[in-house]
Amino acid sequence: MVGRGKIFGSVRLALFALAFAVPASSAQAAVCVRPGDEPAVNARVMQSELMVAALACDQAASYNAVVRKFQTDLSAGGMALKKMFREAYGVGADRELGEYVTVLANGAAHRSAVEKGRFCNATAGVFDKVIAMDRAEFREFIAGPAYAGRHGLAACPRDTAER
């Protein structure tokens, strides 16, 4: 089990990194999303948004509770995302994935800065909804419309989508 301080420390480190963020590279076009990868990518979008909310909206306790409850699913999603980037970039995968995650967090940070009240209310609603879910409901939620298409990655062409 991940300790509370370790999770919150990771949130702080990620947001600190936002200050030195590199813009998204056009090379990210090399990553494409197969239908089975969509939930993993959506989970990363959700996690990035909730990570920003943890600090910007003083919702760290809620963030930690969600991460603890769904640690297995979030970890599996992270591994799937790493695999996607490794397939696309080989040895450059870690750098590209880092840039991609930074772009997701920057988007959430921008929304929290521009519309803090709306952002904080919306993420509080997500925390409340998600923490009440069981694993099957969480997986269904991640695969559903709430986060679909928000990842900014293109769908794989038909010939590569079935690998």
**pLDDT reported for residue 3:** 55
Domain ranges for the chain: 39-161
**Looking at residues 141-157, what average pLDDT do you find?**
86
pLDDT tens per residue across span 4-15: 555 555 444 444
**Looking at residues 107-121, what average pLDDT do you find?**
93
C-alpha span between 52 and 123 (Å, rounded): 10
Average pLDDT, the chain: 82
- Check pLDDT > 50 for residue 104: yes
C-alpha span between 71 and 134 (Å, rounded): 12
21: left (phi over 0), alpha (psi -120 to 50) or beta: beta
Whole-model pTM: value is 0.75
pLDDT tens per residue across span 65-82: 999 999 999 998 899 899
**pLDDT reported for residue 131:** 96
**Confidence band of 85 (pLDDT split at 50, 70, 90):** very high
Give the residues across from 32 on adjacent strands: 154
**Confidence band of 32 (pLDDT split at 50, 70, 90):** confident
Tell me the percentage of the chain whose pLDDT exceeds 90.
54
- Check pLDDT > 50 for residue 20: no
**Confidence band of 27 (pLDDT split at 50, 70, 90):** very low
